[in-house]
Copies of this chain bind each other. A is one copy, B any other.
Amino acid sequence: MSIPSKRLNSVNSVGLVKTKELTLFEEEEFYFESGAKLSPIDVAYETYGTLNSKKDNVVLICHPLTASAHAAGWYTKDDKRPGLWDPLIGPGKAIDTNQYYVICSNILGGCYGTTGPASINPETGKEYGLNFPVVTIKDMVNLQKALLDRLGIKQLAAVIGGSMGGMQVLRWAVEYPDFVEKIIPIATSGRLKARTMAYNQLAIDAIKNDPDWQNGDYYDSNRKPTKGMALARKIGMITYRTSEAFQSEFGRDRIEDKDFYSLDNQFQINSYLDYQGEKFMNRFDANSFIYLTKAMDLFDLSRDYKSFEAALSKIEAENLLITIDSDKLFPPEESMEIVEGIQKVGGKIKHHQINSEVGHDSFLIEFNKLDDPIRNFL
């Protein structure tokens, strides 16, 4: 059971919101981890609540792979759904906008307003495509830091995020230890395991196999790699939910009027996956998907440090790590490496495990299960 998203006119909604844009690195260049540099960089971000005079009541939300800066509120009165974490962000909610100034920015390499492969390279007047530099989680965090600097933020009361957002949260705490007071990484990993990288490879293969991908140069073309994107999404979906969730929702239920002795899709599970693929294929940029997926593969908290523990020993923030017991993408055992590592180096960390039948996606659906742990920790 999830708490339904409150309606726009609900008293504890952040209400109508707008995505803001800032252009950074107009003078100096942004340096990627790889040494590549870029100028300028647009950043799309949203804010909810009010910045206090000390500018230290900021909660930064780090969004997962295919999301945007739209973490809460409604774009229009007729919006069908609010921002991704709306049930958790607002006046009196777990992340209380009466107390906190909440910021969420679209990540570097994304395709919802922040500069990424689908953005126009001012030098050529064409989309960057595969000429965009390889992006890492650290690069995303560094751009978020630059945005906060520009906004005059001196301190983060908390950084919170799930899945790839959780990787950013961990990187924040390691790279900017005295800037961050509290962190809540959710359903995430300190470094991807081989099997998760395998899933990522399948999704990227699905896109690259699509001739309409055209080696990333599809922007001026009528042909977009929609089939590849749809398949990439379906591959993802299989990791986001448990087998039990699929079984209880679809089982072997058939699509009405479909022939049994046929090669066509005829089961409800087929129809569900096709629907998910179709919803996704036109809403996300294929190159952006490839870059962000690669950023996950490359993420290893221990890189540039002597060991995984050495990286964790940099963290000064108070920690609440949240795992989901049925998570097949980042199973609790994988996250526990972080808990145990921090304990090993004498750091403090709380661990909360969510019991869920949903799997990884629980952190985007079962908001009631996140509400108390986040509220109490903040």
Is A358 among interface residues, defined by CB-CB distance under 8 A? Answer: no
Docked Cα-Cα span, A270 to B194, in Å, equals 9
Least distance between A14 CB and chain B CB atoms (Å): 36
Docked Cα-Cα span, A137 to B252, in Å, equals 17
Q: Which of A19-27, A154-162, A176-184, A200-208 sits within the interface?
A: A200-208
Give every chain B residue within 8 A of A261 (Cβ-Cβ).
32-36, 133-134, 136, 298
Q: Which of A39-47, A241-249, A342-350 sits within the interface?
A: A241-249
- How many protomers of this protein does the assembly include? 2
Judge whether B201 and A243 touch: CB under 8 Å: no
Judge whether B227 and A209 touch: CB under 8 Å: yes
Which residue of chain B is the closest to A287 with respect to CB atoms? B263
Judge whether B238 and A193 touch: CB under 8 Å: no
Judge whether A194 and B263 touch: CB under 8 Å: no
Give every chain B residue within 8 A of A195 (Cβ-Cβ).
238, 243, 246-247, 269
Judge whether A202 and B235 touch: CB under 8 Å: yes
Judge whether B267 and A130 touch: CB under 8 Å: no
Is A228 among interface residues, defined by CB-CB distance under 8 A? Answer: yes
Q: Known contacts being A134-B262, A263-B134, is A234 close to B252, with CB within 8 Å?
A: no
Judge whether B269 and A238 touch: CB under 8 Å: no
Give every chain B residue within 8 A of A331 (Cβ-Cβ).
243
Q: Which of A1-9, A140-148, A289-297 sits within the interface?
A: A289-297
Those of A200-232 within 8 Å (CB) of chain B:
201-202, 205-206, 209-211, 227-228, 230-231
Judge whether B297 and A267 touch: CB under 8 Å: yes
Instruction: Encode A294-308 as 1/0 by CB contact (under 8 A) with B.
Output: 100110100000000
Docked Cα-Cα span, A252 to B190, in Å, equals 12
Is A17 among interface residues, defined by CB-CB distance under 8 A? Answer: no
Least distance between A174 CB and chain B CB atoms (Å): 18
* 18 A/B residue pairs, CB under 8 Å, sorted by A: A32-B261, A194-B246, A194-B268, A197-B252, A198-B246, A198-B270, A201-B234, A201-B265, A205-B231, A206-B206, A206-B231, A209-B209, A209-B231, A211-B211, A243-B331, A252-B300, A261-B298, A267-B297
